[in-house]
A and B are shown apart, each in its own frame.
Chain A
Amino acid sequence: MVTSVRLSRGAIWALATIGCLVAGLVFTPAARMGWAAQMSNTFVWAKSGDADTLDNQVSSNGETSEVTTQIYNVLVRAKQGRTDVEPDLAESWSTSPDGLVWTFKLRKGVTFHDGTPWNAEAAKFNFDRMADPKNPYHVTEKGLDFEYWDGFMGDSFKEAKVVDPYTLQLILKQPNSPLLYNLSIIAFDFASPASFKKYGGQGVGQHPVGTGPYKFVEWIRDDHITMEANPTFFRKGLPKTKRLVMRVIKDNAARFLALKANEVQAMEAPNVDDVKVAQRDPNLQMGFRPAFNTGWVRFNLNNDIFKDKKIREAVALAINRQAIVQGLYGSYGEVAQQHMPPVMWGRVSGLKGYQYDPAKAKQLLAEAKYPNGFSLDFWYIPVSRPYFPAGKEIGTAIANDLGKVGIRVHLMTEDWAAYLKDRKTNKFPIFMIGWIGDNGDPDDWLGYFYTKFDKDNAYYSYNSAAVFDLINKAKTTLSQAERAKMYAQAEQMVLDDYRDVPIAHARVPLLMRKNVDGLVGQPDANEYMETVSLK
């Protein structure tokens, strides 16, 4: 028999004391003071990931550009909440008739955070660093490279020339009409030449010195980045908060709970369910990044079955995109009728798009000699992306629609890393994928998808010399009105060929406390925090 023991009075007192201590630790009111962001002068933004470097010239990471946008400036930048550009460090610009010389008149009286002046020499210093592999500062940390420079400027840039202290010329080898929009990408920012000399080409990644609204203070990796207001910022009256902290909270649910607890005042990338909770919470409000993305179903035209246009058309007409958007995008999706989202110029105007018509889809299949349909593997993305917030559910809905017209779908997926790789092979006969824009020029979209053909690559399996020529011509045409017509014409040709089935554009929700004012969602996800204040 086990001996039963009564708790002595002393033991009970001891347990009670421990209990009180623990309760005191957990529930003490004084404890509330330390952690919650009490200072109205500090705005805490919750990020979904950490930066890889703070030298944006060598990074294509969105987590980096979200921070560097606050520290640096570019020659021209996207307007707040939009994709068209406005002056930033350049006040005005002009182009030579042959499109080979771009002249920028620079803003005067601007200084870097280290007190050194911004001028044409400083601008040239940065261009030389990016363009010339022999430049002593053209060095990066391992794995990083001047990706954006190589992708957007490398093939056309010849040299940067100082005309006078506040006039800079960019001389090109060949016309590059998207140049202005390309230069609005924060990867073409300007760091203090003195900082390069002080910290070296690699060191500026940890010691960013720009001209932006906030000065860098500290970076605790994987935890937070702190910045303080730049009192000499050239936009008068900005920034509106003294201190900006960007906290890294990678788990979506944990980030949302930090917002509810007022430890952070705004956050990006909430879970869809948390958005619904936020809409009912009187302490929270919602904002949006305008839809700057498109999700589509892409046919592998190297696959025999999809070489038949009627089958592609049948698939396009069989998918009830309106129902998918209504059911699976919350209230922030819209049906995509073409590749580029509404914030872009160069779109086809007055487009009705593919209309849901399962009867006609069946008829088209019969005409294509598949009256009883066929079976195929349909690949859906395994992760949540802005353009496909619920990849599996959207894939399932599409499979269901295709099943109704006789196309029996085996839903397939694989790890995202494998998916990104395999989409550029012939493994997938038909698959979901999409695009998030870099800047407001149509070349960033159509120029990436439709300028080449590859028989071993589903992604580039569309082959139309007419479309390729049109898009290449648009890249070297100076008039934006002319270019817009060309892109619209090319897009119409691609749509007529049923190359893809555009599904949706989605606004991206941002959640914030009720007292946050002036936070405007930016299409490229790099918000200008300079206008944010706490009421």
Chain B
Amino acid sequence: MIRYIGNRAIALIPILLGVSAAAFLLIHLLPGDPATVFLGEHATPESIARVQHEFGLDRPLPVQYGVYLWHAIRGDFGDSLETHRQVIVEFLPRCPATIELSLGAITVALLVGIPIGLLSATKPNSIFDRIGMAVALAGVSLPVFWLGLMLVYIFSVYFHTLPTSGQIGIDYSLLAITHIDVLDGLLTGNLPAAWDALRHLILPSITLASYSTAIIARMTRASMKDALHQDYIRTARAKGMAGWGVIIGHGLRNALLPVITVIGLQVGSLLTGAILTETIFSWPGVGRFMYDSILFRDYPVILAGILLFSLVFVLVNLCVDVLYAFLDPRIRYA
């Protein structure tokens, strides 16, 4: 197992190199240059040349890539063209917000997706099944930005019950421990702030979770239906086990294995979904920063973001693979 993990970790290096080279090339293939965007309509040729020189954008592309890699290996991802601060300094404080949102979304996806899949599988063609699958279809089909705005309209503007945007109300201040506001509120005993942070978290989490919830629900349903056909289910019933005991204890336990793989893959959609969700909800995380950076042609930030997202995606899937071995004793990695 340790050797397996080691091999996978080593395989990260070519993956990240490939991702960085592809991203670097693609970004520079885009028309327009950041210096012009930075300076706007009033730019003079002199000021454009100055900004390009300051950020090394006037050097040949291979040199820029080489310099970038050399610095990146040492943890220096350059300076943001937009905020003028080190990229790493910009990313670090934004990470907890994205982690908070992702955790919220995963929680919603699991708490909603698995029960929907379970009910649909155990009561096929029933009203539960039809509604469940309709919800799943909607979750896959609805664009994130539309769903987000609709939720805000319904719950914030019409019912006046949940905040439209932000991570916490401007009237609350929190002592930062984990930088995850809900958690910090609980840890410091500041319950009103924790409550307010939780209320801010609901709509973005639902929005971000919509796609993953749908996928997990459909996967759970399919996997569960398959599991319920197995001999061990019939045997358990023959031995006199009650309905839900069989379903949860024997059916769901086996059916969840493929679902776990899907959850790992959903991290990718959560990260990309975070870019739009954070923008709609003014959530001060990495996703919104990435969105701005793309509009701004902020090359260093885009590159670092792509590398970060790739790293997270690969690591989460490595964890899922390892977890798989623990959950299913039949699987062993060489």
A interface residues (Cβ-Cβ under 8 A, vs B): 2-6, 8, 11, 25-28, 31-32, 34-37, 39, 42, 44, 52-53, 60, 141-145, 147, 151, 220-224, 226, 245, 247-251, 253-254, 257-258, 260-261, 263, 414-421, 424, 433-436, 438, 448
Contacts and interface: CB of A to CB of B under 8 A. Distances in A.
A347 B157 CA distance: 46
Contact residues on B (Cβ < 8 Å of other chain), bracket: 35 or more
A417 B297 contact: yes
Interface of B: 30-34, 36-45, 47, 50-51, 54-55, 79, 81-85, 93-94, 121-124, 126, 149, 152-153, 155-157, 159-167, 169-172, 192, 195-196, 198-200, 202, 225, 228-229, 233, 237, 243-244, 247, 279-282, 284, 288-289, 292, 297
Contact of B280 (A11, A254, A420, A435): A254
| Residue from B124, B170, B281, B289 whose CB has the most chain A CB atoms within 10 Å | B170
Given A5-B243, A247-B170, 10 more contacts: A3-B243, A31-B161, A250-B282, A253-B280, A261-B160, A417-B30, A417-B36, A419-B32, A421-B31, A421-B36
B225 A3 contact: no
Contacts of A8: 243-244
12 contacts: A5-B243, A36-B160, A52-B82, A141-B85, A245-B170, A249-B165, A257-B157, A261-B152, A414-B32, A420-B37, A435-B41, A438-B42
Contacts of B54: 142-143
Given A31-B162, A35-B196, A35-B199, A44 B43 contact: no
Given A5-B247, A143-B55, A254 B161 contact: no
A52 B84 contact: yes
A248 B282 contact: yes
B280 A141 contact: no
Contact of A418 (B31, B155, B237): B31
Given A52-B82, A222-B289, A415 B225 contact: no
Contacts of A418: 31-32
A420 B32 contact: yes
A2 B199 contact: no
Given A52-B82, A60-B42, A143-B55, A260 B157 contact: yes
A12 B91 CA distance: 45
A250 B152 contact: no
Contacts of B195: 34
Contacts of B159: 26-27
B155 A26 contact: yes
Contacts of B39: 60, 147
Nearest to B45: A424
B81 A263 contact: no
| Residue from A25, A415, A420, A435 whose CB has the most chain B CB atoms within 10 Å | A420
A308 to B, nearest CB: 28
Nearest to A49: B292
Contacts of A142: 54-55, 79, 84
A309 B157 CA distance: 55
A32 B284 CA distance: 23
A382 B157 CA distance: 31
Contacts of A226: 170
In the complex, the 4 A-B pairs of residues with the closest C-beta atoms, listed nearest first: A417-B32, A418-B31, A418-B32, A141-B84
A3 to B, nearest CB: 6
A420 B122 contact: no
Contacts of A60: 39-40, 42
B282 A27 contact: no
Nearest to A243: B170
A36 B169 CA distance: 8
Contact of A5 (B31, B34, B123): B123
A257 B282 CA distance: 12
| Residue from A5, A39, A223 whose CB has the most chain B CB atoms within 10 Å | A5
Main secondary structure of the interface of B (DSSP, over half): helix
Contact of B163 (A3, A35, A222): A35
A52 B297 CA distance: 15
B280 A143 contact: no
Contact of B124 (A4, A25, A145): A4
Contacts of B229: 2
| Residue from A60, A254, A438 whose CB has the most chain B CB atoms within 10 Å | A254
Given A143-B79, A250-B288, A258-B164, A26 B202 contact: yes
B161 A143 contact: no
B280 to A, nearest CB: 5
Nearest to B155: A26
Contacts of A251: 279-280, 282
B236 to A, nearest CB: 11
Contacts of A254: 149, 152, 164-165, 279-282
A220 B284 CA distance: 9
Contact of A4 (B32, B122, B162, B196): B122
B152 A257 contact: yes
A414 B243 contact: no
B30 to A, nearest CB: 7
A414 B36 CA distance: 14
A220 B160 CA distance: 25
Contacts of A223: 166-167, 282, 284
B36 A420 contact: yes
B23 to A, nearest CB: 18
Contacts of A224: 166, 170
Given A26-B161, A260-B157, A2 B32 contact: no
A8 to B, nearest CB: 6
Nearest to B156: A261
A224 to B, nearest CB: 6
A245 B166 CA distance: 13
B31 A414 contact: yes
A3 B161 contact: no
A214 B225 CA distance: 64
B297 to A, nearest CB: 5
Contacts of A32: 160-161
B161 A27 contact: yes
A393 B229 CA distance: 59
A83 to B, nearest CB: 17
Contact of B284 (A53, A222, A448): A222
B41 A436 contact: yes
A387 to B, nearest CB: 10
Nearest to A420: B36
Contacts of A37: 170
A366 to B, nearest CB: 37
Contacts of B121: 2
B31 A415 contact: yes
A448 B81 CA distance: 26
A415 B31 CA distance: 7
Contacts of A28: 161
